[in-house]
């Protein structure tokens, strides 16, 4: 079920597998560039993942690294509205502990 989140938000969609990973990194770079202007320091960027149709390990890794890089810049990103499949994969491959560190209730 889709959850509403307050704060500055962005959304991700489409194929997040190796087939399209180069395209997705472009979209994240664009968000990274703009996000500094939109999100005040020490605030949270809510990332709506409900539009992600497919994701594999390379996609999950990309999301994590992007999240970490934002954190180094002093920005928090929360992944929300993960599909059941994505949530299950995250859990199964042990990435839930990493995403959990972003205090995202949807992942934990």
As measured in angstroms, the least distance from the Cβ of 19 to other proteins is 10
Provide the greatest CA pair distance for the chain: 36
Which pairs with CB-CB distance under 8 Å and at least 24 residues apart come from 25-31? Answer: 25/62, 28/62, 28/66
Q: Coil, helix or strand for 104?
A: coil
Among 97, 100, 103, 105, binds other proteins (CB under 8 A): 97
Angle at 37 between CA 20 and CA 9, to 5 degrees: 55
**Is residue 35 near other proteins by the rule CB under 8 A?**
no
Q: How many residues bind other proteins (CB under 8 A)?
A: 26
Choose, by CB under 8 A, the member of 68, 74, 100, 105 that binds other proteins.
Answer: 68
Question: Interface with other proteins by CB under 8 A: which range of 34-42, 46-54, 57-65, 76-84?
Answer: 57-65
């Amino acid at each position: 079920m889709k959850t509403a989140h307050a704060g500055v938000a962005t959304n991700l969609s489409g194929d997040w597998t190796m087939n399209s990973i180069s395209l997705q990194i472009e979209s994240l770079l664009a968000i990274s560039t703009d996000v500094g202007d939109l999100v005040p320091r020490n605030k949270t960027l809510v990332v709506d993942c409900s539009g992600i149709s497919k994701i594999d390990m390379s996609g999950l890794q990309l999301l994590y690294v992007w999240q970490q890089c934002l954190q180094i810049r002093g920005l928090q990103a929360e992944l929300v509205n993960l599909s059941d499949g994505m949530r299950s994969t995250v859990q199964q491959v042990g990435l839930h502990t990493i995403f959990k560190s972003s205090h995202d209730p949807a992942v934990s």
